[in-house]
Copies of this chain bind each other. A is one copy, B any other.
Amino acid sequence: MGKVLIHSTVTLDGFMADGDGGVDWMFGFTEAAEDREVLNDVMAEIGAVLGGANKTQTIDEGEEPYGGTLKVPVFLMTHTPHAPIEKDGTTYRFVIDDIALAVREAQDAAGDKSVTLLGGSIARQCLERGLVDEIQLHVVPVLLGKGISLFSGLENPIKLERLNTAAYASVTHLRFRVVR
């Protein structure tokens, strides 16, 4: 069974997007070949993606996870039944409300590869349920002050173990294991 991984690019103050969902701050930083290698390694590790209910709409609007570049099964939480969507070679499946079930289905689809969690709400809910194995962050050197936070709102403290830290140009890559 593969790992369940929170994977996100964040600002130094932990935002995934500004208050309007914008990610302009992500771009324009110096990049080294090693940075792309770290990203490629994480991408190669991903066997399925699980996103929150709020992601369903963005798929319909043409905003696919990972910009649609990652051809792996995508599972999305939903509150009402939703038929699977086939789009550009990717299958989107919908799971009603049961997050633990959704994680299991995504893990089944991923095989030995990792399931990445898309969005803060699903990441926090899975953390709180003890369903997350590791956290991979790409920290961009910017402070936003406000926006859509990855971790804000967690109900209980979570202990981590530092696994790997890497930095070559602007971005800092951090990998942690969740201690349960």
A interface residues (Cβ-Cβ under 8 A, vs B): 12-14, 18, 25, 127, 135, 137, 139, 141-146, 150-162, 165-167, 169-172, 174, 176
Contacts and interface: CB of A to CB of B under 8 A. Distances in A.
**Chain copies in the assembly?**
2
A86 to B, nearest CB: 37
Q: Which of A141, A143, A166, A170 has most B Cβ within 10 Å?
A: A143
Contacts of A12: 135, 137, 151, 160, 174, 176
Contacts of A166: 165
Contacts of A152: 13, 145-146
Nearest to A177: B141
A146 B155 CA distance: 8
Contact of A142 (B144, B146, B157, B174): B157
A159 B141 contact: yes
A141 to B, nearest CB: 4
